[in-house]
Amino acid sequence: MTQKLFDIAGIGQERLHLAWVSSAEAQRFVEVVIDATESVKAKGEFDPKAFEYELAAAEMTLSGETLRWMVGKEVKITSKGDVYGRKWDVENFEIILDAVLEREYQKNLIYKAVKEGHTSVRDIHKKIGLDLKRISYLLADLEKTNKVEFTGMKDRIPVFAVL
Amino acid sequence: MNLESLAFLCNWCAYAGADLAGVSRLQYPPSIRTVRVMCSGRVDPMFVLEAFKDGCDGVLVAG
């Protein structure tokens, strides 16, 4: 999931590797390490300053309640069923999980942008490059959950602030 | 260009594997820095993000 998020954030999942190596497989360990360093090399140097917003949003997303709950409930919902007794396919569940991941990430990115003083939809768009419509839609969502509030109009432009 | 990767290695599997690789004199890239954890399940996504924030170029989790 973190790899998927890295792709959404534009960091690239090539920077994050997960592998299983047993204690007796020294040769395999060497292969894994070479493999990982090669793909990191292909991506080049990583500049954390350029990805400040993305990293902050990723952190908020991965430590946030929504995803932790969803991941924690996955086995139960796909094997025993949800509260209505409906059993979900793993595939369907993962589709929804991916959508939630992207949505939460975008919401957190907007939250971060508003917090840093980009208070209008256009300002946020300029900073994070997300679609204008999507930003307004997610801002409404952030308002509903009391993360962001509408503070008024300034030169006929709606202004937002974090709570 | 000096790229650095951080590797989280499970004490019982990959860390022992890395140890064996050293003992049997297998060559592997010097650009990884290892962190021994008692289990790869101990690695939280937060650790990974922290690594990138501190300027690592890549992260490997091996168990």
Tell me which chain A residue has its CA closest to the CA of residue B41: A18
A48 vs B53: CB contact, 8 Å cut-off? yes
User: Residue A2: its chain B contacts at CB < 8 A?
Assistant: 45, 48
Residues 6 or more apart whose CB falls under 8 angstroms from that of A160 comprise A114, A119, A120, A139, A148, A149, A150, A151
Q: Are residues A58 and A39 in the same domain?
A: no
User: Residue B43: its chain A contacts at CB < 8 A?
Assistant: none
The stretch B11-30 carries a mean pLDDT of 91
Q: Are residues A137 and A108 in the same domain?
A: yes
A43 touches B: beta carbon within 8 Å: yes
Q: Are residues A132 and A152 in the same domain?
A: yes
Mutate to test the interface with B, among A5, A20, A34, A37 (most CBs of B within 10 A): A37
Number of domains chain A is built from: 2
Q: Are residues A24 and A85 in the same domain?
A: no
Higher local confidence (pLDDT), B50 or A2: B50
Q: Are residues A24 and A59 in the same domain?
A: no
Q: Are residues A113 and A38 in the same domain?
A: no
Q: Are residues A58 and A93 in the same domain?
A: yes
Mutate to test the interface with B, among A4, A18, A21 (most CBs of B within 10 A): A21
Q: Are residues A94 and A133 in the same domain?
A: yes
Residue A141, domain extent? 52-162
B27 vs A22: CB contact, 8 Å cut-off? no
Tell me which chain A residue has its CA closest to the CA of residue B60: A17
Q: Are residues A38 and A57 in the same domain?
A: no
The residue with tokens 């080049």 is A44
Tens-digit pLDDT profile for residues A43-62? 989 999 999 999 999 999 99
Tell me which chain B residue has its CA closest to the CA of residue A28: B17
- CA–CA dist B21, A96 (Å, integer): 42
| Secondary structure (DSSP) of B9-51 | EETTTHHHHHHHHHHTT----TTEEEEEES-GGG--HHHHHHH
Q: Confidence band (pLDDT; 50, 70, 90) for B1?
A: low
Q: Are residues A127 and A60 in the same domain?
A: yes
* Neighbour order of strands in the sheet with B5-10: A16-19, B58-62, B5-10, B32-37
Tens-digit pLDDT profile for residues A92-147? 999 999 999 999 999 999 999 999 988 899 999 999 989 999 999 999 999 999 99
CA Rg value for chain B: 12
pLDDT score recorded for residue B8: 95
Q: Are residues A109 and A63 in the same domain?
A: yes
Q: Are residues A83 and A147 in the same domain?
A: yes
Beta-carbon count within 10 A of B60 CB = 23
Per-domain residue ranges of chain B = 5-62
Q: Which of residues 7-36 of A touch B (CB under 8 A)?
A: 11, 14-30, 32-34, 36
Can you say whether residue A52 is alpha, beta or left, with left for phi > 0 and alpha for psi between -120 and 50 degrees?
alpha
| CATH code for the domain of A108 | 1.10.10.10
